[in-house]
Amino acid sequence: MARFISTSIPYVNAKPHLGHALEFVQTDAYARTARLSDPDVFFLTGTDDNALKNVQAAEAAGKPVDEYVDEHAEHFKELEKRLGISYDDFIRTSTDERHRRGVEKFWRAMKAEDIYKKSYRGLYCVGCEEFKTEKELVNGECPEHPGKKLEEIEEENYFFRLSAYQKELEELIASDTIRVIPESRKNEALSFIRGGLQDFSVSRSSVRAKGWGIPVPDDSDQYFYVWFDALGNYITALGYAEESDIYQKYWVNGKEKTHAIGKGINRFHTVYWPAMLLSAGLPLPTSVFIHGYITSEGQKMSKSIGNVIDPNDLLEKYGTDATRYLLLRHVHPTEDSDVTWERLDEWYTANLVNGIGNLVARVMKLAEEHLPSPVALTEADTAIESVFTEKLDAFKFNEAMDLIFEHVGKGDEYMTEKEPYKKVKAEETKAEALADIEKLVRHLAKLAAHLRPVMPATAEVILAAVTENRKPENLFPRLDK
């Protein structure tokens, strides 16, 4: 029943942004839900250190690449920690030996006829230090470096025969053998495949790679192209190099192998990666979940527009669970979503402060004052509704959250309807009131159980309050106006 779930491994050429936080939180909620029914889950995350972009970013910062990459990888690690991400392992493609060994083995496992050398000729922008396609050019110049001449460079690289897998890939995706979620992304992958697949290069010259990354075995002049290297992380982290038990358990025999990614890297995960695995004769992932992007004020977040929302600022302002809440409920799982500080404040106050926080406070105040002893919880009190886990298993995080808030609303309604705070004051209605308060406490226990995968810390606080029969500190402090 083993299940494997991964985030993509982001470039560490800049600090993490909200989109990364979204993916981490979604994946975490999914993993925690999976563990609810069976703890046999392996949740992998990490960083892609070997991208050429990292080298460029390091140069721009005037730092040695390894130092720069270490520093930035730390930012990602730190963010995941602050978000309460329950990963089982964190792989770094530059420093983890298992990765290098794994990639080398993966390379050797490729079918011989799928790899060939070919010279690649393209327009190279010295400024960007990368090849540009005709379409990227503005007036024949690189938009980033106007005035600089593009050089026509020719270089020999290894190519992967992606074209050989067109039929097979189409079949795998169309049949949901590799499930692509949502449907629109599946269609996108299919139309990409049906449009005809071209072989792609899996290496670049060591000069162009600047000696950063993983050298191709037995050919010191070539370094792996970042996607060949990066995609491999999903198996190298598990110990593919030495065919470890974990690798066997989760990848070879794993029941579900799920990749969570952003929409921008759909084709790498639904086309390139499965093709490479096929060539190597290795098992395929079973599903790829693709989330959308977060915009702000209707536009892509960018430093120049000044609409960037830093996940660390969110954490600072609202705390871990509230940040998780905002990302899971108010960002659509698969579509692009727009976020502004104004609305974040609104959601926080309406649902967390006035919703969950207030309900817990009013119920526990009554319980603490009037119940002689803590309510003895039964299994039924903390049983999780199957509709809830079904939503989460289907990556419908927002709808799962809606169920939670329906539950919160019911608590408030019950309170108004039964008026235990009033009845508890009169002798003849006191018993009735106590029974209602007890019911409400059980209602909170149920709430906590459902919060576990999505807002784990809050779930614990509520559960502790219930079992100790005391009103906790305010769960979600009101924002300063």
Residues labelled as active-site residues? 17, 20, 125, 128, 142, 145, 300, 303
Contacts of 9 (CB under 8 A, 6+ apart): 45, 46, 47, 48, 91, 93, 230, 233
Contact between 360 and RNA per CB under 7 A: yes
Window contacting RNA (CB under 7 A); options: 3-11, 215-223, 250-258, 316-324: 3-11
- 86, 248, 358, 429: residue in contact with RNA (rule CB under 7 A): 358
**Other Cβ atoms closer than 10 A to 115:** 18
List the interface residues with RNA, window 337-356 (CB under 7 A): 337-338, 343, 346-347, 349-351, 353-355
Is residue 198 a contact residue for RNA (CB under 7 A)? yes
Distances (CA, A) of 305 to 60, 138, 296: 21, 22, 10
- Contact (CB, 8 A) for 81 and 45: no
User: Considering only residues 97, 112, 113, 135, which one is a binding residue for RNA as defined by CB under 7 A?
Assistant: 135
The neighbouring-strand residues paired with 158 are 117
Which of 67-75, 248-256, 371-379, 393-401 is the region at the interface with RNA (rule: CB under 7 A)?
393-401
* CA distances to 415, 416, 418, 433, 435 from 423, in Å: 11, 12, 8, 6, 11
Q: Which stretch binds RNA (CB under 7 A): 6-14, 31-39, 59-67, 214-222?
A: 6-14
Q: Please say which residue, 67 or 336, places its beta carbon nearer to RNA.
A: 336
Q: How far is the CB of 370 from RNA (least distance, A)?
A: 10
Q: Counting contacts by CB under 7 A, is residue 306 touching RNA?
A: no
The closest alpha carbon to 447, from 365, 381, 387, belongs to 381
Q: Indicate the residue among 41 and 408 with the shorter CB distance to RNA.
A: 408
Q: How far apart are CA 324 and CA 320, in angstroms?
A: 6
CB neighbour list of residue 227: distance below 8 Å, 6 or more residues apart = 200, 202, 268, 272
Q: Are 90 and 96 in contact (CB under 8 A)?
A: no
Rounded least distance, CB 244 to RNA, Å: 28
Cα gap 187→355, rounded to integer Å: 39
Site string for RNA, 441-480 (x = CB under 7 A): ---------------------------------xxxxx--
Based on the shown chain and the rule CB under 7 A, indicate whether residue 141 belongs to the binding site for RNA: no
Which of 119, 139, 191, 373 binds RNA (CB under 7 A)? It is: 191
Binding mask 227-246 for RNA (x = CB under 7 A): x-------------------
Chain-centroid distance of CA 359 in Å reads: 30
CA distance to 39, 383, 392, per residue, from 387 (Å): 20, 12, 9
Contact letters for RNA, residues 143-182 (x by CB under 7 A)? ----------------------------------------
**What does the per-residue mask of binding to RNA show for 20-49, with x meaning CB under 7 A?**
------------------------------
Q: Of 86, 413, 43, give the one whose Cα is nearest residue 250.
A: 43
Stretch that binds RNA, among 62-70, 243-251, 307-315, 407-415 (CB under 7 A): 407-415
Of these, 171, 242, 316, 335, which contacts RNA (CB under 7 A)? 335
Residues 54/65, Cβ–Cβ less than 8 Å: yes
| 130 interacts with RNA by CB under 7 A | yes
221 touches RNA by CB under 7 A: no
CB of 361 to RNA, least distance (A): 4
Identify which of residues 200 and 240 has a Cβ nearer to RNA in the complex.
200
Touching RNA, residues 238-297 (CB under 7 A): 261-262, 264-265, 267, 293-295
How far apart (Å, rounded) are the C-alpha atoms in residues 226 and 48? 8
The number of CA neighbours under 13 Å toward the Cβ of 167 is 1
Question: Minimum CB separation from RNA for residue 10, in Å?
Answer: 6
Task: Say whether residue 8 binds RNA (CB under 7 A).
Answer: yes
Mention every residue, 6+ apart, whose C-beta is less than 8 A from residue 366: 420, 421, 424, 437, 440
